[in-house]
């Protein structure tokens, strides 16, 4: 079973080598990490290539933001299970094996818990799930999304159903709601399997206005309106 890890990078040189090392230690020789760099003129390329590991595949993004940058990486993924990955976190030991076990038990999309930390990896909250009331309800996640890409993995069948991305506000939100609507099996792992680093420069996770929140949900509903359940 081949693993693909899709990592969207943007000025990620500060933490990306540490993150990649934590991922690579859990992969086999046939697996891959696809790093799509949305600012290839920066220093991320050097930080990635300095690892000297052939499993890490560097590609330039299109400079169109985080959603399209993840899409660029995902289009190159060839694995049976695909993990989403941020540039500044740390994967805890056992993450990959726990997800593989869930997929082998019938899961199509898996979301695991995370320990939220500061930039020095000191714990801010021991459980993302507890803090945000994570659940697998389509309606509740449409209103208040609890799926974060850095804690998500899914089968190639889910990926094929989700590509190409329509005009949606966030890639992880789209893939989670799509999987639920199409009847894929979505499961939660209550164990924190990453250190989710929050440092003030994160691309995702910022505050949004009420108007923006309403607009995002309307755009998501439009994107989902043509989606039918699997038969």
3-state secondary structure of 90: strand
* Tens of pLDDT, residues 20-51: 999 999 999 999 999 999 999 999 999 999 99
Statement: 3-224 belongs to CATH 3.40.30.10: no
Tokens of 132: 């945000």
Beta bridge partners of 83: 5, 153
| Rounded Cα–Cα distance for residues 136 and 187 (Å) | 7
- What are 185-209's pLDDT values in tens digits? 999 999 999 999 998 654 555 577 8
CA-wise closest residue to 165 among 43, 28, 8, 11: 8
Q: How long is the chain?
A: 231
Q: How far is CA 159 from the centre of its chain?
A: 12
């Amino acid at each position: 079973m081949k693993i693909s890890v899709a990592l969207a990078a943007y000025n990620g040189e500060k933490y990306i080598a540490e993150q990649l090392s934590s991922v690579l230690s859990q992969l086999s020789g046939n697996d891959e990490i696809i790093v799509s760099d949305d600012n290839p003129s920066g220093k991320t390329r050097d930080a990635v290539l300095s690892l000297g590991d052939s499993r890490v595949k560097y590609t330039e993004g299109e400079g169109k933001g985080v959603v399209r940058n993840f899409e660029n990486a995902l289009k190159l993924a060839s694995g049976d299970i695909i993990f989403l990955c941020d540039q500044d976190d740390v994967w805890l030991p056992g993450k990959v094996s726990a997800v593989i076990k869930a997929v082998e038990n019938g899961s199509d999309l898996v979301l695991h818990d995370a320990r939220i930390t500061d930039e020095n990896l000191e714990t801010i909250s021991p459980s993302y799930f507890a803090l945000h009331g994570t659940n697998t309800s389509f309606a509740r996640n449409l209103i208040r999304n609890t799926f974060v890409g850095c804690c998500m993995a899914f089968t190639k069948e889910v990926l094929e159903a989700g590509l190409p991305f329509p005009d949606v506000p966030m890639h992880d939100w789209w893939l989670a709601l799509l999987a639920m609507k199409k009847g894929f099996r979505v499961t939660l792992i209550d164990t924190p399997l990453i250190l989710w680093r929050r440092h003030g420069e994160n691309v995702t996770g910022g505050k949004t206005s009420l108007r923006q929140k309403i607009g995002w949900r309307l755009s998501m509903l439009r994107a989902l309106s043509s989606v039918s359940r699997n038969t």
